[in-house]
Amino acid sequence: MTLRPLALAAGLALALPLVVLPTAAAGPPADRGRPGLQITELGRYTAPNAEFDAGGAEIVAHDPGTQRLFVVNGSETTLDVIDIADPAAPTLVEQVDLSEFGTGLTGVGSARGLVGVATGPDDAQSARGTAVFLDARSLQVRGTAEVGFLPDALLFSPDGRTAVVANEGEPSADYSVDPEGSVSLIDVRDFSVREVGFGSVTEVDDSTRIFGPGASIAQDVEPENIAFSHDSRTAWVSLQENNALAVIDLRKGTLTDVVGLGFIDRNDERNAFDASNDDGEITIRNWDVLGIPMPDSVSTVRSRGQTFVLTANEGDARDYETFSEEERVADVALCAQEYPDAAELQLDENLGRLNITTVNGFDEARGCFAQLHAFGGRSFSAYTAGGEPVYDSGSDFERITAEVLGRNGFNANNDESGPDAFDSRSDDKGPEPEGMDVGTWKGRTYAFVGLERVGGFMTYDVTDPRKPVFVAYTNGRDFGAATAEESIDLGPEGVLFVEAKDSPTKRPLVVLSHEVSASTTIYGLG
């Protein structure tokens, strides 16, 4: 296996320990928008009995043969089947009870009339998960396959022949059991399984985080989400907590590479961010902090014969009963040489409230932090197929939501309403990009990036992944609702693009599934 340390990008100071992602040019969002693409809300379905903020609509898949959406309803442990023949009036067909296969439903995908659902048992650390496959029309189970521990995403390769499951292998609450992470490759002809593990990995580059107490590399990696090459030969799997991508040869069923994703320099003017939820203001500025991308969703784009990997840089800390990497800047010792103004920095209105990791940047010899690392990128990035960074959206998401929402929603949490829905996530991961999908319309390729906390999605033209262009920010959330329970479209978890040829309207659709409000919302492109 080739493990490539990332090279420094041109023009970056050599004092930085690792690569900093190339970023969009600074400037107001209006200067970078591309006119011509219209995004219109068409319809919405809300699970009637789902408990508020309990995963009522997590991940969504689409079957063009039946014009049905398949939505993971974690609140009721069902797969909700929604008819969208008329996207303006989505209707429930059936709630398929899959509890006999596991108490936790996590991922869903669809291809060639087959729907696959990832499920996990109660005793998730000691018992493997199951992938369940149903006929999209009859909803009858056509087969099952045993997968790894704590399966998360399940997606089909573009040719529809292989279902791929990312098995997180998260530890138990007390960290006494930590199963190995893995990726399951399922041949949908007979539901046979090849499992790709990480036991062959003996070293990783400096930005790949291996830090679980007593964990081997194989135990520590936590596969999260999946993207594919256009020819179905390669899969890229995000290892979120590890800040890395795994590259898998689907034909051979082997792991070919693990690539660290570098850090984001918050001292660069293009990477400014709001670090405090206690200053009462929108304060987007530079700080001496490195952001850790730690992506959830990944997608691929084909441009001029090359494949690029896009990442939604959510961030996700490990926080368990006996081990937590989270700490606030105000509560740690900063090295005087690197941070001579530590007392000022540690005020709550400055960096004091910011959550950082205790795993990176600590100088053991001096007993203090020589570099601060914060979770997530608050951005999306583009990499070459081999993991070379070529673009990052920098502070775009916070600047755009600040301009569009202002005090009526900027960096709000996904379970807030009214005056409370302001600035509460600045100390954590900001707007928190999570779900993402890409698609082509009228000769242009677009990325749609869901913002889990503030809500809605960003649309970028990524026809040239080295130079994406902001197009629009779309959000159906009602920030003025009397209570959060009365609001709509809270917490977008899944983002799905439906191609024009597969759409009931013969125009592309973008579908968002919302885990807090249990709503699934359909947008049309024009």
Long-range contacts of 183-187 (CB under 8 A, 24+ apart): 183/148, 183/223, 183/226, 183/235, 183/237, 183/246, 183/248, 183/255, 184/131, 184/145, 184/147, 184/148, 184/151, 185/248, 185/250, 185/253, 186/116, 186/131, 186/145, 186/147, 186/162, 187/161, 187/162
For the structural domain made of 33-525, what CATH number should be given?
Answer: 2.130.10.10
Determine contact, residues 47/75, Cβ cutoff 8 Å.
Answer: yes
DSSP states of 361-412: SEETTTTEESSEEEE--SSEEEEETTS-EEEE-TTHHHHHHHHHHTTTTTT-
Task: Mention every residue, 6+ apart, whose C-beta is less than 8 A from residue 348.
Answer: 276, 278, 279, 330
Task: Output the CA–CA distances (angstroms, integers) from residue 186 to 143, 428, 430, in the order listed.
Answer: 11, 37, 36
Sign of CA pseudo-dihedral 210, 213, 218, 222: negative
Q: Which pLDDT score, from 0 to 100, does residue 36 have? A: 73
DSSP letter at 285 equals: B
DSSP letter at 220 equals: H
For residue 175, count other CB atoms closer than 10 A to its CB. 16
Determine contact, residues 259/205, Cβ cutoff 8 Å.
Answer: yes
Tokens 């100088």, located at residue? 363
In what order do the strands lie in the sheet containing 223-228?
Answer: 223-228, 234-239, 244-249, 254-260
DSSP letter at 270 equals: G
Strand 326-328 relative to strand 306-312: parallel, antiparallel, unpaired?
A: unpaired
SS3 label, residue 42: strand
In what order do the strands lie in the sheet containing 141-146?
Answer: 104-111, 114-120, 130-135, 141-146
Distance CA 139, CA 70 (A): 11
Q: Which pLDDT score, from 0 to 100, does residue 10 have? A: 25
Determine contact, residues 148/131, Cβ cutoff 8 Å.
Answer: no
Task: Output the CA–CA distances (angstroms, integers) from residue 24 to 281, 395, 447, 469, in the order listed.
Answer: 25, 9, 15, 9
Distance CA 139, CA 479 (A): 37
Q: Which pLDDT score, from 0 to 100, does residue 235 have? A: 98
Task: Output the CA–CA distances (angstroms, integers) from residue 307 to 161, 196, 386, 495, in the order listed.
Answer: 21, 23, 9, 21
Distance CA 504, CA 85 (A): 6
Distance CA 285, CA 277 (A): 14
Q: Which pLDDT score, from 0 to 100, does residue 34 have? A: 55
SS (H, E, C) 469-495: EEEEEECCCCCCCCCHHHCCCCCEEEE
SS3 label, residue 263: strand
Per-residue pLDDT of the chain (526 residues; tens, 9 = 90+): 333 222 222 222 222 233 344 555 444 343 344 557 999 999 999 999 999 999 999 999 999 999 999 999 999 999 999 999 999 999 999 999 999 999 899 999 999 999 999 999 988 899 999 999 999 999 999 999 999 999 999 999 999 999 999 999 999 999 999 999 999 999 999 999 999 999 999 999 999 999 999 999 999 999 999 999 999 999 999 999 999 999 999 999 999 999 999 999 999 999 999 999 999 999 999 999 999 999 999 999 999 999 999 999 999 999 999 999 999 999 999 999 999 999 999 999 999 999 999 999 999 999 999 999 999 999 999 999 999 999 999 999 999 999 999 999 999 999 999 999 999 999 999 999 999 999 999 999 999 999 999 999 999 999 999 999 999 999 999 999 999 999 999 999 999 999 999 999 999 999 999 999 999 999 999 9
Task: Output the CA–CA distances (angstroms, integers) from residue 393 to 9, 82, 414, 437, 469, in the order listed.
Answer: 16, 34, 22, 16, 9
| Residue of 468, 466, 467 whose CA lies nearest to 449 | 468
**Predicted model pTM:** 0.94
DSSP states of 309-343: EEEE------B-SS-B-EEEGGGSPBPTTT-TTHH
